Structure 1
């Protein structure tokens, strides 16, 4: 996922905006380079923002400032994208879509610095639960356009994940794969049929209140209960100040995250919340017991999805385990016992979506379709649009403009989110537009008139 950029191919920025972390990769031809966060060098950026009164800080910069003014800090705002209700950050209010604009703008700026040239095209991954008419899809596109991208495509996250490199033999066309995605903020599952250039989502389900962040909350609650005696003085001191209360809550939550992460590799963890507090001990077995009800809901979500689709477990090739939350050993135990499916993994489960999307870009094809014309002097242009319908995004030529064979005349977005170009089948001059941008069009519709 690194190397020298191919300067001959127009670059594409692939972006995965997650509830708790985000990532991006620049794709230029066959070369893909992950966009590291400048502060930490990590491939994942915290999906956090901080309004300092003049500008929006993003990622680790926001995390490092949150204790100075906890009321100016926010994270997890992607969960509120549907309602898009503004929240107060310091003295100013921001909508979730505006916070996503800040994330995408920062990723784009760093990607362009790394690439050394402007990047005008973006592919944003979105949950499969964002249906074609879901307002969240519209807002994700709007956020990317507000960040300066001219062309924005949407790619379902389970499709992207199924393109990610996996340990062992790759999936084969026709395989049925159950994508189990336990992210920081949500749980998503989808049944995907593997194809050569595109994977088909046969069905999906989601739990919006079941992610790694919710497991952190369970651990934090247990820490607060078990350590009530030594936390009492801290709680009492913080109770008279809202910022102090928020800081204490942040400290306990971060401690819970640290314990959870350590338990991904260690059987038992012993750590300290504060230098002057007693040590706190937790084992993998205790974490499994604590998380069992929540993880059980994810297993039920998977079995109910298969039942709804009428697919037997033995017809599923494997479960593809992705998302940062899937690092917990309890997840593998649950899937093997509860579903009886073989598990397939990627090296970095939290990067599966962005890496898969980056692999999809160069194999997704030119995504162009030529116009159908008639022998009349002024001919109508229509196209055999894949899937039968799409939304016209923009015209790329204007009336009176001449064009050559194969030149893109218009750009459309299919219901699945992919962007296609409608090209000329022969040279001509555009005479008149019949359909304005923003219109839903069908295969065979007359979209424009042209002169040969």
Structure 2
């Protein structure tokens, strides 16, 4: 008898990744082979075995083998940059695929069942290209990605399992490399995203960098020369010490650095010892914390929401464990963020809930995941896990538009078509004319972003309509329609109305590979070290 594939949710994080499932009416975080619930999103190449370490073993090699170790690859998703692993170079999707393969292999060993499908989360403010790259990483890893959903939405989906009354929830999501903020309404099994904002290049890594800058200054003051950070081993040692200090200061009021034999720029070495207090840490890292608050305030203002309109505040992401961050969020909203919710695992649990929905199987209640929010009323009943399934309504994270030209001046400009924070699915259409007389083809360029200019936005894709009979501009008429489905996949079509010539694209197809190409990409990846 064929077993039904288990519902799988994956939080593919910048610093750490988590995989979860739902079995026998319960949520479960799947441990890796080391027995850890989190797997560091780190990949390190081992020349001796011609294999790669993924996870804690790779993170441990970051100091001794920095040139063969890749960290924070999530910040490069959607980029064209390549990264060396051994004698080969690989795109970010390939590196992320190795992390996903490790998660899946360890989970399969624990479940004693194959994993074929998964829901993977991404930052809410990820662009279309970054989302597509994430989906491609899943496919390279050998799994079918049923859906890509935003991390704050997943957190609210998990949190909303127990909400029987209507709530307006603010999600403050500060991970290793990204920051998102979202407002989500939860009511009777309906999880409806009202709006999102964020910065895909702001996170806990930036706090590490500021600690390293402080260390460099302190070493120079003590020894008259800066550490030689052109040496990757020296730089890695400083970053490793910075991360350790950041983690220790979540529970301690001070921590000590002990760095023997630090190579300096003047060729000498130094033994460096220094204490960093939580107050000093707060001062030197005030910049990124304030930036998250500025984004939050601007987002709320634009949405016409005040902090007092928010019923609950949820913290997501490991960087929210920092007391300075927690205190800043508490001051802004004049309420303590919800406690008892693990910021490291709630996203994976929400992704698993969506996986249950995708596979049309019952979603466990939040009680099974130990994420039941504290309420004043003991009579609240779990919405999920009952006869009804939850419904997730998402929004468009960034405006989608097309490159247009003024009829008289022919000056090009960005024409928004579906606006940021509009509920999806969504669709619209627009009438256009060719740029020149007697054209037989017209190219349509689709952009994403909030800038008023073409140059300020990101080209998502383009396609060409034609050939069609040549006419003068004012006699020709084209109609372009754009649709965005519930999964955020964009479909665009253009029609020459006089002659019914039409052409279109499904924009998520940019990263699609043939079966032969996919096999080639997969075979080029180095094997995982057991």
For Structure 1 versus Structure 2, the TM-score category normalised by the shorter chain is: 0.7 to 0.9
| Mapped contact 1:30–1:362 kept (Cα < 8 A) | no
**Bigger CA drift: 199-208 or 47-56?**
47-56
Residue 415 in structure 1 maps to residue 411 in structure 2:
no
Which of 30, 34, 37 is the matching residue for 1:35?
30
Residue 225 in structure 1 maps to residue 220 in structure 2:
no
Work out the CA distance in 2 between the residues paired with 1:293 and 1:234.
23
| Mapped contact 1:141–1:152 kept (Cα < 8 A) | no
Residue 125 in structure 1 maps to residue 121 in structure 2:
yes
Q: Which residue of 1 aligns with 2:303?
A: 309
Task: Please state whether the residue corresponding to 1:350 is helix, strand or coil.
Answer: coil
Residue 80 in structure 1 maps to residue 76 in structure 2:
yes
Runs of 5+ in structure 1 lacking a partner? 1-6, 368-385, 390-412, 419-437, 441-452
Task: Please state whether the residue corresponding to 1:118 is helix, strand or coil.
Answer: coil
When the two structures are superposed, what TM-score results if normalisation uses the length of structure 2?
0.63
Q: CA deviation at 1:328?
A: 0.9
Q: CA deviation at 1:326?
A: 0.6
| Mapped contact 2:166–2:188 kept (Cα < 8 A) | no
Q: Report runs of 4+ in structure 1 exceeding 6 Å deviation.
A: 231-234
| Mapped contact 1:268–1:284 kept (Cα < 8 A) | yes
1:378-398 C-alpha deviation (Å, 9 max, x unpaired) = xxxxxxxx9478xxxxxxxxx
Distance verdict in 2 for CA 1:150–1:298, change over 3 Å: closer
Distance verdict in 2 for CA 1:65–1:328, change over 3 Å: closer
Q: CA deviation at 1:273?
A: 2.7
Which of 246, 250, 270 is the matching residue for 2:232?
246
Work out the CA distance in 1 between the residues paired with 2:74 and 2:226.
31
Q: CA deviation at 1:141?
A: 1.6
1:298-352 C-alpha deviation (Å, 9 max, x unpaired) = 1111111111111222211122111111111111221222343442134421222
Distance verdict in 2 for CA 1:290–1:26, change over 3 Å: same
Q: CA deviation at 1:47?
A: 0.8
| Mapped contact 2:63–2:237 kept (Cα < 8 A) | no
Residue 95 in structure 1 maps to residue 87 in structure 2:
no
Q: Which residue of 2 aligns with 1:356?
A: 350
Q: CA deviation at 1:222?
A: 0.5
Q: Which residue of 2 aligns with 1:269?
A: 255
Q: Which residue of 1 aligns with 2:5?
A: 10
| Mapped contact 1:180–1:190 kept (Cα < 8 A) | yes
Q: CA deviation at 1:112?
A: 1.0
Q: Which residue of 1 aligns with 2:67?
A: 71
Distance verdict in 2 for CA 1:231–1:48, change over 3 Å: farther
Q: CA deviation at 1:278?
A: 4.3
Residue 157 in structure 1 maps to residue 151 in structure 2:
yes
Structure with the greater relative contact order (CA < 8 A, sep ≥ 6): 1 or 2? Answer: 2
Task: Please state whether the residue corresponding to 1:11 is helix, strand or coil.
Answer: coil
| Mapped contact 1:10–1:28 kept (Cα < 8 A) | no
Which of 319, 331, 335 is the matching residue for 2:329?
335
Q: CA deviation at 1:163?
A: 3.1
Work out the CA distance in 2 between the residues paired with 1:312 and 1:165.
22
| Mapped contact 2:147–2:487 kept (Cα < 8 A) | no
| Mapped contact 2:219–2:226 kept (Cα < 8 A) | no
Work out the CA distance in 1 between the residues paired with 2:251 and 2:486.
42
| Mapped contact 1:267–1:284 kept (Cα < 8 A) | yes
Distance verdict in 2 for CA 1:387–1:218, change over 3 Å: closer
Task: Please state whether the residue corresponding to 2:11 is helix, strand or coil.
Answer: strand
Residue 49 in structure 1 maps to residue 43 in structure 2:
yes
| Mapped contact 1:49–1:57 kept (Cα < 8 A) | yes
Q: CA deviation at 1:151?
A: 4.8
Runs of 5+ in structure 2 lacking a partner? 262-269, 362-423, 428-483, 490-504, 508-530
1:243-278 C-alpha deviation (Å, 9 max, x unpaired) = xx1111111111111111111111122342339834
User: CA RMSD of the aligned region, Å?
Assistant: 2.9
Q: Which residue of 2 aligns with 1:298?
A: 292
Q: CA deviation at 1:160?
A: 1.1
Q: CA deviation at 1:155?
A: 2.0
Q: Which residue of 1 aligns with 2:174?
A: 182
Distance verdict in 2 for CA 1:80–1:233, change over 3 Å: same
Q: Which residue of 2 aligns with 1:201?
A: 193
| Mapped contact 1:13–1:24 kept (Cα < 8 A) | yes
Task: Please state whether the residue corresponding to 2:79 is helix, strand or coil.
Answer: coil
Work out the CA distance in 1 between the residues paired with 2:178 and 2:16.
12
Work out the CA distance in 1 between the residues paired with 2:126 and 2:209.
26
Q: Which residue of 1 aligns with 2:392?
A: none
Aligned length: 363
| Mapped contact 2:163–2:188 kept (Cα < 8 A) | no
Work out the CA distance in 2 between the residues paired with 1:259 and 1:49.
22
Work out the CA distance in 2 between the residues paired with 1:94 and 1:360.
30
Work out the CA distance in 1 between the residues paired with 2:223 and 2:93.
37
Q: Which residue of 2 aligns with 1:445?
A: none
Q: Which residue of 2 aligns with 1:213?
A: 205
**Bigger CA drift: 198-207 or 317-326?**
198-207
Distance verdict in 2 for CA 1:342–1:312, change over 3 Å: same
Work out the CA distance in 1 between the residues paired with 2:146 and 2:174.
26
